[in-house]
Structures are given as structure tokens and as C-alpha cells.
Structure 1
Amino acid sequence: MESLNNESLKKYIVISYQDNNIKEEELKIEDFIQNTSIPYIIVRPSHIYGDKSKTSKEAYFFHKIEKSIPIIIPKNSNLKAQFIYIDDFVKVLFSLLKTIHIKEVYNVTNPQLISLEEFIKTCSEIIGKEANINYTDSNIIDTDIKQIFGGNYLDIDKIIYHGLYIPNILLNNGIEILYSWYKRT
């Protein structure tokens, strides 16, 4: 990064994903960039999902619902998440390339805040089969569930204020596209 030519560099975009395993390293990168003259934009997306992803966390739910395998969740869970469909994310990135705003940090997500139960219900409706949900008194959450529903609420007021592309693919539409692709693979 020290060797970047600031004269020819128009904009440096850093995508800072919320996965806890890499968060510390990304904070170091953000700190480095913010203390230079590099014309940066830092993007903090919520959970990105979409078709053509072999590592789709949503496949975990599809498989369990299709096979009637119990999905175990805490009884009084208040687990919520935000999602952004990959096509929306790409459109936001393209709008960032065109913006005049630099040295900014943007939260990027669809503004829908979805509970774990709403998410499972949406998947069930699209699959056409009721999910087998088992509620537990335990606060232990499956890793695949925690990776999606362990984040924070992201405010997108800045992307709206700066006139950037606003993600608009709702969860049910995105899951429908993803599940259709999942069935073909």
C-alpha cells in the first residue's frame, strides 16, 4: 500500500466485511488508509448473498427444510440480520466509483431488518415446505446461524444522502432467485 501512486489513483475502495475473524486486521487497514492521503472509500456490507455462490450460508437452511431436519434455535431469540443481494451490492460499488465523495465510510445493506424466524419462514414459503423448528432453552446457537444473525444493524442514511444506489432487492425476491439457482446446481 505504501507504494501506491497517489497521483494516478482516483479512488481506493476497501470492503470491510463484518466477520469477526478478519475484523481486527481490517481495522488496521482502515486505520492505515485513513491516516494517508489516499482517496479512499470504505464499504461495510451486511450479509451478502446470491446465486452462483458455492459457499452460500442459505444452503444450510434450504437443506434442512427440504430434508425436514430440525433447525434448532433459542426459544427467546431476538436474532436479527440485514441482507444485501449480490446484484444490489455490485450496483452500490458501481455508484461508489462514480461518486465525488471520498474519505468516507459507507454501510451497505438492504434496510430490511429480518428476524431469524422471518428468514426461516421466507425460505419455507419459497421451498414450499414447512420448516421443522425446534426451540431450545439454551442460548447456544449453531455456527451457521450465528454467522448470518450475529451482526449489527447498519444505518444506510449516508448512501441515501450522498445519492448512491439504494439496495432494493427484498429478501423474499433474493431468496427466490437464490433457491432457483440452488435447485439447478
Structure 2
Amino acid sequence: MTSILVLGGSQFVSKALAKYLIKENYKVDILTRGQHPIDYAGFRTHLIADRHNKDQLEQVLKGRSYDYVFDVSAYTKKDIEILIDVLPKSDLKRYVFCSSGSVYHHSESWIDEEGSRGVNPNWGVYGLDKKVAEDYVFSYAVKELPITIFRPSYIYGEGNNLYREAYLFDRIEQGKPIPVPVGDCQVQFIYITDAVKMMASVINHTFSVGKAYNVTYKTPVNWKTWIETAELVVGKKAKVVLVDEALLPDKIKTRHYFPFRPVSYLLSNEKALAHGLYEPTIDLFDGLSLAYADFKNNPMDRMDKTMNKVDEVANGSVNLIDYI
């Protein structure tokens, strides 16, 4: 039976990935710091270690071997250096690194996997750290360590611990105004189930060795479509407030009142589909419907401390907004 190690397993993407692999009858170990309860069964072993502590990591991995390693909890080159240094490699068929679409330079157009990567002021150090981590992983591909890299767009859905679609559901249900930056940014989302299926589709897929792939649902949307779709799902009209940021005080930035950055985010997934990887099928309406059901059935504390100006902007106390 194929053996798999998931770095992570306690929250959102890594949790969904582990649960999916278990459902597909793979032999799955998860590795976390042990700081969050694991509320599902079916994995073989829950390994507990701080991945930044080489001694701890070496101890829990001693004597173990894996066919596939899915690394969802790495953010920096150092995270990966320690893991690859101690990871048993004799049976390893693939090391899969979950990176991010934030590694690309900013563009208002579609970005494919050959798009230029580097500093992007919209994402800051997060995107740059992921890019540097990717470079390190690619350097091992040259040394014949079998690797695959995935670069997701905005992932949403069941178990999302980020205050994004849950924020929207909260505001609509409570009848509170939703401040939205003026503009027509085009972005892409991918539902969590589609995202993990796409990543898992590299199993026994040798052509994907040494390659990077964008992970997204093909159809872009703007904020208006995102909100209108949520209205249909919730069954209630949203109170939208359009915000002209040119008129806002300098101290108030988009992320102080909105869960996304005010920039387009368009990734082409044609390469993945051409190479025979899983094709995402869940559109925004179906995805938000599933997300809303999870929101109602599984309450979670998702508050975003960065969004500390929502009511100030939404209620017009800065006197620089228009209501529609």
C-alpha cells in the first residue's frame, strides 16, 4: 500500500488533504506540532515534532519511509532544508511542495507557470519566502530528488480558518454593510476539495516530476460576482458600500476593512490539465453553497485582527464612501 506523509494535518488545506488521502485508502501519517486537536480518524500515526527543530524531526522520522511526502506547512527555505536533510529518501517517489500563486510578479493578465517570479509588493515577504523555498526545491530536482510544486490561487471552503467567505456570510446574515474597494479586480478561487484532488493527482503520475503547476478553478470573478453569489447562497441581499481608496486616510488600507488585496490574481491552469492532472469542477455557486453549509454546521472563530476598520469604513465615519 502506498505510504504518504503529510506535513500538517490539523488545519484547512493540510487537514483536507490528509482526510482525502485517507478516504482514498492510502497509508497516511501526519506531522504537526501537536498544538491543535485532530478531529478525524483513519491516519496511521500522528507524528508530533517542531519541523524547525532538526533533532525532533530526525527522531520522529527515524526508521520510517514514504512513497510520497506532501508538504503543506513549509513557508521558507529553512523549513524545507531541515526536512530534506533528515527525510528518508530511498523509497521516495515524490516530494510535493504546496507553494502559492503569490510567488509571481504582479500582473493584470493571465499568468502561466513560466511567468516571472520574485518580489511582489502585494504579497510582501510571504510571496518572496515561498519563491525562495521553490528555488531550493527546484535545485534538488536537478539532483534527482523527485519533486512537484503547486501554486494555488485563493482556496476556500470547508474548514477555512481564514476570515474570508465566513466574513461575507456574517455580514449578510447580520444585515451589516460590506465595504468593498472600487475597481474591477479579476480573481480566481478554488474550492478546497478540488485543490486537494488536484494535488493528490500527482500520485503515480510520473510526468509531473520536476514541474510546477498552478492550482485554480478556471473562471475568474470580480468582487461584485463574489458577493452576488453569496447573496444567492444565503438567501438575503447584501448591503454593499463602495470605497474609493483614493479618498481614505493614509492609515486605512484595503486589508483593514476587506479580506483580500485590491489586485487581480489570474492563474492559468492549462498546463496541469494538458499534463493530465485533475481538473477542478466546483464552480463558485456550488463552492459557496458547500462553504455556507459548513459555516452553519461547524462554527469557528475566524476573526481577522487585521480587519480592524470594517465598521469605521462601513458606517461612514470617515465620510469618504458611497452606498449602493
CA contact (8 A) 2:101 2:214 kept: no
Aligned position for 2:131: 27
Give the secondary-structure state (helix, strand or coil) at the position aligned to 1:96.
coil
| Structure 2: distance between partners of 1:84 and 1:32 | 26
CA deviations over 1:114-167 (Å, ceiling 9, x no partner): 110000000011111111011122255244635366452110111111011100
Moved more, 17-26 or 7-16: 17-26
CA contact (8 A) 1:43 1:106 kept: yes
| Structure 1: distance between partners of 2:270 and 2:195 | 16
Over the aligned positions, Cα root-mean-square deviation in angstroms equals: 2.0
TM-score, scaled relative to structure 2: 0.53
CA contact (8 A) 2:148 2:212 kept: yes
Residues 166, 143 of structure 1: alpha-carbon distance in 2 compared, 3 angstrom cutoff: farther
| Structure 2: distance between partners of 1:54 and 1:137 | 29
1:164 counterpart (247, 258, 277): 277
Structure 2 gap ranges (5+): 1-83, 103-122, 247-252, 299-324
| Structure 2: distance between partners of 1:30 and 1:104 | 11
Count of paired positions:
184
| Structure 2: distance between partners of 1:147 and 1:74 | 10
1:9 counterpart (76, 81, 92): 92
User: Which is greater in Rg?
Assistant: 2
CA contact (8 A) 1:52 1:181 kept: yes
| Structure 1: distance between partners of 2:260 and 2:270 | 25
Residues 144, 172 of structure 1: alpha-carbon distance in 2 compared, 3 angstrom cutoff: farther
Residues 87, 149 of structure 1: alpha-carbon distance in 2 compared, 3 angstrom cutoff: farther
Aligned position for 1:178: 291
TM-score, scaled relative to structure 1: 0.90
Structure 1 gap ranges (5+): none
* Structure 1 position 54, deviation (Å): 3.7
| Structure 2: distance between partners of 1:144 and 1:91 | 33
Identify which of structures 1 and 2 has the higher relative contact order when contacts are C-alpha pairs closer than 8 Å and 6+ apart. Answer: 1
| Structure 2: distance between partners of 1:30 and 1:74 | 32
* Structure 1 position 72, deviation (Å): 1.3
Pick the structure with more helix per residue: 1
CA contact (8 A) 1:44 1:107 kept: yes
Give identity over the alignment, percent: 30
1:145 counterpart (241, 258, 263): 258
Structure 2 counterpart of 1:11, one-letter code: R
Give the secondary-structure state (helix, strand or coil) at the position aligned to 2:289.
helix
1:67 counterpart (165, 171, 174): 174
Is it true that 1:130 corresponds to 2:237 in the alignment? yes
